[in-house]
Structure 1
């Protein structure tokens, strides 16, 4: 159980690039990072492309006005001069900027936590991985609900053989909030998501499905994708060539199969984030609409509903619970778990503790690269007319 006690010697001096007043995700990052106030301390930021607005916002967060910078280049340069300068930075900016900011941060001697999708090309991911290794730094990726402890319960159940041989993987991340084009016109956060120059080669594949794909890899690390077939649509024509709906079929190397549906035009759906793993003996299912519950269905037996934080769960799962089974946890606790593991990974990297890093389950640079690979191959398949492509 986590109760806020420190896991590292002192809080890491932390900054943000982006995540300002008009951002969709900045508050989630701050809540995750500072849920345990022993892990991160927000001391600086380049919060907004509008420097005055960013400074006003940062000051209202309690950041020293002199450490609210107009841009990330100035922040990295000025913070490097300080004896108490930043040690880690979160990149919470539009997709097209992730690569250049991450590279600049690593070259400035900083650890990096980056939004997804990490970059546009696998080659960029491999380059950044090599740079991070050369600089002895951590690069983490914020796949939000992957910090739910029930992900670790599912992982342990698969590893323990509770489901038998894994045969099928069902993945869904859908909502209906972009069923019209209104948000494309008035929301700063939505405008760039449907602009291929900024968002990259995809919309919902990069914005939504990368979350669920990583969670499937976390739960079933033994499954390796062999091929994918993707069909994608732009039901709002102005979004083309970017998709607002996509279906993906998956073939795994061991003969298992999978299916993913990502959509932001699932009209009326508030939150359709669901993962189902089907084995030869049983199935498990998680929905972040009911994040404290896990369905366990054994063939020939009544359906079981497993509740977060109960003693019948595996120790690896309960090690990350925070509030006890009496009280509900959700997205912010999941983000907090991810950020706490980022802090533990950074601390371990600084100390040369490779054993801790080896055994720590969190979305690292390799998870980010696999997300890029996923999007690249899905787009490649869809652009070729919806054909099977090798996952490479």
Structure 2
């Protein structure tokens, strides 16, 4: 996290860019960053060398993706893209970071009923909170852990992102694949030709996945489109009731500041994903993040999650692998799928699993609407849970928003529940100024 930096500098022609910033796969080097722009028509960028310029494939094809992997320097990097000046702040390796994570967000019932859309005003309130939080120059990342707006066609994502400020979009983003992102109904058995299978998602929220390192792929052609969902539909469309994608498109691992992140899709097979988990652990052993967060969607098997691929199960299995066992209690996880927010798992060492799935949908728990603020600055790794509204706490939106607008999330943690507060182990050679 950095203090006192300028925000996005806008100049030149056109509307603000539909920008996506993603940390590169950790094995490519800490300073590597994927810069992407989404457009609704082909564009030429004479001032920025996008190495991938393609219409979306198979799904959400009204969009075009422009993407490139670049080297940035720790600190403030000013890029000229389409005549606009974009500032991307790369935290120094082993410096503290700050970010927001939520899961299962909804604001529309177009495809799936969003029970609390009106009660919690999830559209306007989510946007206003993000825009206020990321006006703070110390913020670094935003992550959604699946069921991303319950959006079959991409129109809901566009409606939402059109309202986000450039200061949100210039931060690092990490979006996870969930069951409703593959089959909008929520499980494979009701899959149809109209479904997304994560194909639109992986292009609309581009990451730098393991797929970019595999045969016939590279940093320019960084996604695997070998599964054409319509060419492989099968008799009576039976294959629409399967995962028409590959797990390597969603397997990401990297370090941002002093925190490691490992994201994956539970719709992939464990045996297919295991070698990449092992690679990720080897990277974390070498790069030494103070804490690693395993990020996935499903908290339990079923509804599209393959055997052993629910997030708590994956953590357990990882710690059995020789390559990963060294992480021990440094390996935490966050998931969604269940539409509740609470500390999901703990042991003698403290809490290590966190459920953040209540962001508009209903479940067996009380009605909740909130988000997690991760802060690894000042020698600690903290998770603060902000409950914006709930049955038990009432509507706290105005109070939290006013505080965040005035002081930033880090200045408002008295309004949050602290789920995690542990020392951040930083190499002795690193001095952090916060």
| TM-score, normalising length: structure 2 | 0.28
* RCO higher in structure (CA 8 A, sep ≥6): 1
Higher strand share: 2
Higher helix share: 1
